Amino acid sequence: MSHSIRIIARLDIKGPNLVKGLQLEGNRVLGTAQQYSEIYYHEGADELIYQDVVASLYGRSSLKEIVQKTSETTAIPLTVAGGIRTIEDVTDLLRAGADKVAINTAAVSNPRILTEAARVFGSQCIVASIETYRQKDGGYEVWTDYGREVSDLETIEWGKRVEELGAGEILLTSINNEGMGNGFDLELVEAVSSSVSIPVISCGGAGKLEHFKEVVTKGKADAVAAASIFHYHYCQPVNQPNMSYSSPDLRMGAHIDSGNIEFLNEGYGGTADLMVDSCSIGSVKEYLNENGVETRII
């Protein structure tokens, strides 16, 4: 393989909290974004993605303060998504410490924002976020507003279009597979990756080590973003004494102000209900390197 594959931790954020759901719904609160960003920095993640899960719904982005805090305590590339509608929004986030911004909803409604943002800041700063839903007939639709709204765009063609508009990278999220732990949509990832010349980050479906290799070797992804498989490893009650930054607070529900009510009533009773074989970032990189996929080892 001619280049190192990036392993990225994706953090979906609501208010100050890190949340996680299934197919972009039913979020559970796991802790704070700041806690996890510091963990992933120390654990060797190549990048972080911050996604405000309600920004487009409420017409605002609230990640600026969190981005500032992260940039002050960690030295890791950071992509921010959610509620970015104007050049001013991009400016504010980059000044706060973000390295890239990912735009979905605004790009669908006003494609020229990608062109203008790329012209002002450079394509390397502009990521086209594509949330896509696989229909029963096998076709792919672009959805917006964190999977709440259906557009009239076909995913593969939209992928080509965002490259033409100036995006320097694509964040491709399979809504059907997101949080399910049953693997990536390899057909989708390969179709988009083969249709564009810019890097494609595959997101949605990581449930075991093998899935990372599959999406790179078969799907041709340039980077892999994952959430559940990492979050549920690090939010366990402290059982890794060598992790100096471990804390009893890193358990589901330690900072609850929203989430899946049924789950919260039941509490966290172990890992039996998890849909992934949780693992560390280091173990993913080790597995990939042992299986012929080059990654950056810290």
Phi/psi of residue 64, nearest 5 degrees: -55, -45
CA angle 92, 226, 66 (to 5 degrees): 25
Cα 45 to Cα 181: distance, rounded to the nearest angstrom: 20
Residue 214, SS3?
helix
Active-site choice (12, 178, 185, 214): 12
Active-site choice (46, 131, 145, 169): 131
How many Cβ atoms from other residues are within 10 Å of residue 247's Cβ?
A: 12
Spell out a b/e string for 259-274, using b for 16 or more CB atoms within 10 Å of the CB, else e.
Answer: bbeebeeeebeeeeee
The amino acid present at 200, given as its one-letter code, is V
Cα 144 to Cα 46: distance, rounded to the nearest angstrom: 26
**152 carries an active-site annotation:** no
> What is the 3-class SS of 84-134, one letter each residue?
CCCHHHHHHHHHHCCCEEEECHHHHHCCHHHHHHHHHHCHHHEEEEEEEEE
**12 carries an active-site annotation:** yes
The residues that are catalytic are 12, 131
